[in-house]
Amino acid sequence: MTPQDDQRLLEIRNLKVQFALEEGTVRAVDGMNLAIDRGQTVGVVGESGCGKSVTAQALLRIVPKPGEIVEGELLYYRPTDGDGGNLHVTDLAGLPANGDEMRDIRGNEIVMVFQEPMSSLAPVYTIGHQIMEAIGLHQHVGKQEARERTLEILQRVGMPQPSQTIDSYPHQMSGGMRQRGMIAIALSCNPTLLIADEPTTALDVTTQGQILELMQKLQNDFGMAIMFITHDLGVVAKMTEYVTVMYLGKVVESADVDTIFHDPKHPYTKALLRSMPRMGVKSRRLEAVTGMVPDPFHVPPGCPFHPRCEDFIAGRCDAEEPPWIETEPGHGVRCVLYE
């Protein structure tokens, strides 16, 4: 497979990740497709259990056991040094998870910022130590230079008083500062893709705004692509260019951000948008999505959303898997209503 254009960075093709548990097999990701271009910001939206975080873990090959990639390709268009800027296509799904190549990519070219900055930083090391560790792993520099680079990166992520903070422990910092520290670790090398998994969910609104603005600024500076995993539609609207909506391991809709918010097609996307309370819009009752997300061992047959769907067609939605339909270029939806 050759890339159509040299802008392509990553293609997820028919990714399936399963967890074989005693109670049964959980199909956490069940046929995920997604393409990310260089420098693009893509949002992956969905509720808990929809498979958005597992997709990210698959990309980094850190799916926790007993989870396994059982099918699909993770094509990474990797820039190669000294080859005239040629791209080298690597299927991340085919690499050994702890092999040299994957270790070279993980944390260096593809990096991740996690949700909970308190639990994803080591409490017994200073923030400076943790950034220097990342630099030391991937770049051959001396201690002194690593420290200088660390100071520089702390400055770039807007850490107050970098020369003092570099020797602070995570518990001495506020939530916003810790998240800046996490971003600093992620950006300490030269990533092509930053995966941000709910990076602001644990933060206060005022801090959330600062971190999001920082991420936008850094994206401009570094030119990396961002895969933004979140359930917060406000964050999606502000940060992303292209949005993929997931439900129970499947992509149900994807389109550019304006289309998702103003011309959604899938009943689930529509229902989600309608159910949100909005400041300044007064309504006595919210239009709630009925029912609960089914438990992962009992995913309904056919379209997984059919028990909660307003447009449910008996005999079709509960029997056959809906096809993926392109209603217009770049706008796809998995629903029989658009056949």
Partner 1 sequence: MSSTNSPADVDSGRSVRETPLLEVKGLRKYYPIRRGFLSRTRGYVKAVDGVDFTIQRGETLGLVGESGCGKSTTGRCLLRAVDATEGQVRYWISDETGWTDIYQLAGEDLRRFRQFAQMIFQDPFSSLNPRMTLLQIVGEPLTVNRLASGEELEHRVADLLRRVGLRPEYMKRYPHAFSGGQRQRIGIARSLALEPNFIVCDEPVSALDVSIQAQTLNLLQDLQEEFHLTYLFVAHDLNVVAHIADRVAVMYVGKMVELAESDDLFDNPLHPYTEVLMSSVLPPDPRIKTSQIEMTGEVADPANPPSGCYFHPRCQYAEDRCRHETPELREVRPSHFVSCHRAEEITLQGVI
| In the complex, least distance from residue 258 CB atom to partner 1, rounded to whole angstroms | 5
The DSSP 8-state label assigned to residue 339 in this structure reads -
* The one segment of 31-39, 54-62, 163-171, 289-297 that binds partner 1 by CB under 8 A: 289-297
* The one segment of 69-77, 104-112, 225-233, 312-320 that binds partner 1 by CB under 8 A: 225-233
User: Residue 271 corresponds to which tokens in the numbers above?
Assistant: 């229902």
The span from the CA of 174 to the CA of 78, in Å, is: 36
The smaller minimum CB distance to partner 1, of residues 141 and 273, is found at 273
Residues 30-49 binding partner 1 (CB under 8 A) are: 47-48
Binding map of partner 1 across residues 230-259, x = CB under 8 A, - = no contact:
-xxxxxxxx------------------xx-
Q: Examine residue 285 and tell whether it contacts partner 1 (CB under 8 A).
A: yes
The smaller minimum CB distance to partner 1, of residues 181 and 191, is found at 181
Q: Are strands 41-45 and 225-230 parallel, antiparallel or unpaired?
A: parallel
Instruction: Report CA dihedral (8, 75, 197, 61) to the nearest 10 degrees.
Output: -160
Q: Is residue 304 a contact partner of residue 322, using CB atoms and an 8 Å limit?
A: no
Residues 204-223 binding partner 1 (CB under 8 A) are: 204-210, 212-213
Q: Examine residue 172 and tell whether it contacts partner 1 (CB under 8 A).
A: no
Q: Is residue 177 a contact partner of residue 159, using CB atoms and an 8 Å limit?
A: yes
- Size of the chain, expressed as the number of residues it contains: 339
| In the complex, least distance from residue 235 CB atom to partner 1, rounded to whole angstroms | 6
Among 65, 140, 262, 298, binds partner 1 (CB under 8 A): 262
The span from the CA of 129 to the CA of 150, in Å, is: 9
Residue 172 makes CB contacts below 8 A (sequence gap 6+) with: none
- CB count, 10 Å around CB of 178? 23
The smaller minimum CB distance to partner 1, of residues 72 and 162, is found at 162
Sign of CA dihedral 147, 149, 152, 156: negative
User: Residue 314 corresponds to which tokens in the numbers above?
Assistant: 């008996």
* The one segment of 69-77, 101-109, 138-146, 199-207 that binds partner 1 by CB under 8 A: 199-207
* The one segment of 23-31, 149-157, 214-222, 290-298 that binds partner 1 by CB under 8 A: 290-298
User: What residue ranges bind partner 1 (CB under 8 A)?
Assistant: 47-48, 174-176, 204-210, 212-213, 231-238, 257-258, 261-262, 271-273, 275-280, 282-290, 292-293, 295, 308
